[in-house]
Structure 1
Amino acid sequence: MEKIAFYRKYRPQGFTYLVGQDHIRQTLLNGLREKRMVHAYLFTGPRGTGKTSTARLIAKSLNCLELDADMEPCGKCEMCVSMNEGRLIDLIEIDAASNRGIDEIRELIDKIPYAPTRAKNKIYIIDEAHMLTKDASNALLKTLEEPPSYVYFILCTTEAHKILDTIISRCQRFDFKRIDSRTIMARLSYIAQLENIIAEDKAIEAIANNAEGGLRDAIGLMEQLVVDGKLTYDRVKEMLSLSGIENLDAFYKMLESCDANSALLFVQNLYKEGADLSQFTREFLELLRSKLIAAVQSEEKDAVPRLMLMTDSFQGALEKFKSAAIPQLPLEIAIIEICGYQRAKTPEVKSAVKAVGAVTTTTSAAPLTKQAEKVSESAPVSPMDPIDVTMQNIISTWPRVIERIKTPMLRQGVKNSQPSDLNGDTLTLEFKTSFYLEKVSETTHLAELEKTLFDVFNNKIRVKGVLKRIELEPVISGAETTVADVMNMAMAPAGSAGDASGAQADANAQKKSSNANDIADFFGGEVLE
């Protein structure tokens, strides 16, 4: 006899056995009872929570020949048996991950008009529906909106946000939630009894906690860890690289007592033993979370800040594991941060901090105590005093403002402007061209420029841009130039004319060079000779 995996063997065969999704089960049974089932459903939620199993139960109920009073499929009629054995031709399951193109969907649509072969209704279950291409999803729209009376669609996905809104609007959506650990433990114990497996309670609890709300994963893991009809906690702990509550509590006490040396040695031993440090960090975060919630509920105000610091430090360590050059380094840094923070909260240092605060707030320059001087080195720097906002100060500090601007286009635009007027807290900038004026006046650029000015002056300054007035010089320069002067310039010797033309050529070349440098700076390039 062919061996069937536990998660398939114990797949729910009726709505009664659908665990952890009571809200969905009741809604679907009411729809079946009142005969108001819609023709398109969308099941979304984490993996292993019963989406495909529920879809098959709907298919059974819609085609069962002997439904009971509670709308449960009988499991004995020809249709139910055919579905259980996977040979009912009118139940079509499609894996959208491998049949995601428009050609596959068109082929499916072409077959929809044909009536069911044996059953009363034809059921299409599309698993991993978010993997369908955009063209394939659009091709399915019309059929979802107006399917034949005997056709039902059930779309299952773990990522509903990737499905087109037009698809979602045509479906009745059900969100499957993660199954709690106690429900998973009860199901695992039930399966263990049926399979004559001697399972330790701690082993079942560890598997349920590790499954992250997925019953299928928990069942598969239990089957994998059973040896000679026994499921022991030691084997589960070894295979899942679990640390054990004893180790977690010991590590927590080291941090609580600020024993950095012991904590660092503990992490080093974990690494030498081949333990998964990221898994250990996740388990420790679970412990910290439970302690934090307990502290908040019991209003232990002194414990909450310390637990929040620990949680933040180890959460940061967990995020850094992938990029860490040394595997244990993120944990070690978190330990040092936590222990250092607790040392800084001793009464002696607190009094020193108060002394520093008193000195900084008084107008007289009283000498600092030695204790306060030590703390003042690590104390946060107070905000700088505001700079008087005057045109003279703005013009003298303008290069600093330009250097602090991060966006290249904004920086180049500000370079091509100059402060021209200050009216209250509004600074007027004159721009050489309308191009730079428009770029700097964009909302995001203007906000960045005003923030940069605030960082430099510690004062709020609004910016207004205007186009610089261009004064056209007369063709013949000089108000006293006469026709005779023009004639004299025309009759001048060739040498002097050559000098004048040469000077003009040098000026033009210098202007071109300046323009080229501006363009290169704007695009982040360089001028080649």
Structure 2
Amino acid sequence: MHMTLYRKYRPKTFEEVAGESDIIKTLKNSLDNNKLAHAYLFNGPRGVGKTTSARLIAKGVNCLKNGISSTPCNECEACREIDRGSFIDLIEIDAASNRGIDEIRELKDKINYQPSKGRKKIYIIDEVHMLTKEAFNALLKTLEEPPEHVIFILATTEPDKILPTIISRCQRYDFKTLSYQEVKNKLSDICEKENIKIDDGSLEIIYETSGGSMRDAISILERVIISNLGESITEESTSKTIGITPKSLLRDFYDIIKRTSLQKGVEFLEKLWIESIDIEKFFKDFAKYIKDETFVGNIEVSQGLKIIGGVFDSLNKFKYEEDKRLLGYVVLNTIINTQKEVKQEIIYREVPVETKSVTDGEETQAKKISITLEDVKSKWNDILKMAKDEKPTYKAFLADAFPMKLQDDELCIGFRENEFSKEQMESDYYNLPFQEIVQKVMNTQLKLSYFFKKDRKIDEKRNENMTKDILAYFSEE
């Protein structure tokens, strides 16, 4: 009978567990020094090793050859039965299916019986947050003072749904999603043992699709292997099997965007349509590709955020449009225009300020701005209206703002109460479009800066970095 890869390669020792080195070290020390708690709470996302770690504790406690140890023999009857899931003193309960008070009362009646084969009875209650309030209350006293021969291990993905009184009676461990390197190492080891050739691009795609869950990653790997039996697994074949857009297509489309070629973009989308590629999903994958390229520094932050914003703004506005090809044209036009704006901004930053020479020996002076702060105040409502039409979020962020000072070619905008709005407006995602609006209304090349009323010096500015820009964008989304 065929055994799935996940079951076949489930860790049989603590050393085989991927990630969570601190948790594993603590559990091993507890076993080696015989300082086990009577109840544990394992919290974390799905597929990161909670139940596996619980079974390893059961094996470490009940190994017949090595005694209570973090290195069970994996050869004795108890170890083999725990691996098979048939050990009589290891009781696994699915709280999603057995969530009522009657099941917990039955459990309480049975825990007083001594173990049949092992040293201790191990009760693993999976998805414990699914228990009813009455069931939790029934379990409470048992968790506080269980018999000496019983260890409870509760596993959950939603600890906030568990009564605080239950949590306080357990030794809690918070498992986290696995890193790419941890998943890659495990998948590479499996492929080597299964004599499968797979490239790094495929492993990266599998990791991203799994969301950091080892169980999901191994399941996806098995699906990819079955789809490519007898063949080397490549990034392209993996993308096709999983149903995501190949990176080669995303790179080609970005090259078109960089050239701001609307015609080439339309031809590209027509090709996707003919090949039955989901246009909406393609653009979501493209936005993720731009995010990844921005993080590694291949794309300027302001440029990447503008493209991502253009994609999701358009997808949002036309989310009910049934003709996805038409939707694709709208998104394409939006991000092409965004790219043109970015190029103009770069040109504006790089072109020197216009100067005029004098022949009488006087120094050359920069061209001065010919407007006053009163001029800006008189048109401030027009600026706010245009900003609100551009992005509805400006209405909230600028509700507290006012023109505070005009200094050379820099307009200082103040915030009376809302410091959060000030911080949002300082990000390129909001500042650059708003700066364009101010320049358009005032018909002059003003630069903007933002200040909270508690700021001590008007000339003091906060340092901006990529992390702040990214967080500002995604918090808005």
TM-score in same-fold range (> 0.5): yes
SS at match of 2:152: strand
Partner of 1:289: 291
Partner of 1:62: 61
**Within-5 A mapping of 1:462-481:** none
Are the aligned partners of 1:123 and 1:151 in contact in 2 as well (CA < 8 Å)?
Answer: yes
Structure 1 residue runs of 5 or longer lacking an equivalent are: 366-375, 385-529
Matches of 2:287 and 2:249, distance apart in 1: 13
What residue identity is the alignment partner of 1:186? N
Matches of 2:61 and 2:14, distance apart in 1: 13
Are the aligned partners of 1:314 and 1:331 in contact in 2 as well (CA < 8 Å)?
Answer: no
Matches of 2:291 and 2:56, distance apart in 1: 38
SS at match of 1:243: coil
Partner of 1:307: 304
Partner of 1:142: 141
Are the aligned partners of 1:14 and 1:73 in contact in 2 as well (CA < 8 Å)?
Answer: yes
**Within-5 A mapping of 1:217-296:** 217-226=216-225, 227-233=228-234, 234-277=236-279, 279-295=281-297
Post-superposition shift, 1:259?
A: 2.7
SS at match of 2:382: coil
1:340 corresponds to 2:337: yes
Are the aligned partners of 2:31 and 2:68 in contact in 1 as well (CA < 8 Å)?
Answer: no
- Paired residue total: 363
Matches of 2:328 and 2:42, distance apart in 1: 39
Post-superposition shift, 1:177?
A: 1.5
What residue identity is the alignment partner of 1:308? L
1:382 corresponds to 2:415: no
Q: Normalising to structure 2: TM-score of the pair?
A: 0.67
Post-superposition shift, 1:317?
A: 5.7
Matches of 1:130 and 1:42, distance apart in 2: 11
Per-residue CA deviation, residues 277-331 of structure 1 (Å, 9 max, x unaligned), is 4543443333222332233xx9x9xx32111212333355677787554445665
Per-residue CA deviation, residues 344-369 of structure 1 (Å, 9 max, x unaligned), is 46379979xx9xx967648799xxxx
Are the aligned partners of 2:307 and 2:339 in contact in 1 as well (CA < 8 Å)?
Answer: no
Partner of 1:209: 208
Per-residue CA deviation, residues 153-196 of structure 1 (Å, 9 max, x unaligned), is 11112222222222222222212221222222222222222223
Residue identity (%): 40
Q: Against the structure 1 CA distance between its residues 151 and 240, is the aligned structure 2 distance closer, same or farther, given a 3 Å change threshold?
A: same
Partner of 2:423: none
What residue identity is the alignment partner of 2:306? L
Per-residue CA deviation, residues 233-289 of structure 1 (Å, 9 max, x unaligned), is 243222112322221112222223333343344334324422244543443333222
Are the aligned partners of 2:65 and 2:76 in contact in 1 as well (CA < 8 Å)?
Answer: yes
Partner of 2:21: 22
Matches of 1:26 and 1:347, distance apart in 2: 53
SS at match of 1:42: strand
Are the aligned partners of 2:240 and 2:246 in contact in 1 as well (CA < 8 Å)?
Answer: no
SS at match of 1:239: helix
Q: Against the structure 1 CA distance between its residues 131 and 319, is the aligned structure 2 distance closer, same or farther, given a 3 Å change threshold?
A: farther
Are the aligned partners of 1:317 and 1:331 in contact in 2 as well (CA < 8 Å)?
Answer: no
What residue identity is the alignment partner of 1:336? N
Partner of 1:121: 120
Are the aligned partners of 2:91 and 2:122 in contact in 1 as well (CA < 8 Å)?
Answer: yes
Are the aligned partners of 2:269 and 2:328 in contact in 1 as well (CA < 8 Å)?
Answer: yes
What residue identity is the alignment partner of 2:119? K
SS at match of 1:230: coil
Q: Against the structure 1 CA distance between its residues 191 and 169, is the aligned structure 2 distance closer, same or farther, given a 3 Å change threshold?
A: same
Residue range with higher mean Cα deviation, 332-341 or 247-256: 332-341
Are the aligned partners of 2:294 and 2:304 in contact in 1 as well (CA < 8 Å)?
Answer: yes
Report the aligned-residue RMSD.
3.4
Q: Normalising to structure 1: TM-score of the pair?
A: 0.61
Matches of 1:67 and 1:186, distance apart in 2: 29
Post-superposition shift, 1:121?
A: 0.6
SS at match of 1:94: strand
Post-superposition shift, 1:123?
A: 0.8
SS at match of 2:85: coil
What residue identity is the alignment partner of 1:241? G
Matches of 2:242 and 2:140, distance apart in 1: 44
Matches of 1:348 and 1:294, distance apart in 2: 21
Per-residue CA deviation, residues 12-46 of structure 1 (Å, 9 max, x unaligned), is 00001001221211111111122221121111222
Q: Against the structure 1 CA distance between its residues 109 and 363, is the aligned structure 2 distance closer, same or farther, given a 3 Å change threshold?
A: closer
Partner of 1:180: 179
Per-residue CA deviation, residues 405-458 of structure 1 (Å, 9 max, x unaligned), is xxxxxxxxxxxxxxxxxxxxxxxxxxxxxxxxxxxxxxxxxxxxxxxxxxxxxx
Q: Against the structure 1 CA distance between its residues 55 and 322, is the aligned structure 2 distance closer, same or farther, given a 3 Å change threshold?
A: farther
Matches of 1:321 and 1:46, distance apart in 2: 33
Post-superposition shift, 1:211?
A: 1.9
Are the aligned partners of 1:184 and 1:218 in contact in 2 as well (CA < 8 Å)?
Answer: yes
What residue identity is the alignment partner of 1:194? K
Matches of 1:364 and 1:304, distance apart in 2: 33
Partner of 1:480: none
Partner of 2:468: none
Find the structure with the greater CA-based Rg: 1
Partner of 1:47: 46
Are the aligned partners of 1:126 and 1:154 in contact in 2 as well (CA < 8 Å)?
Answer: yes
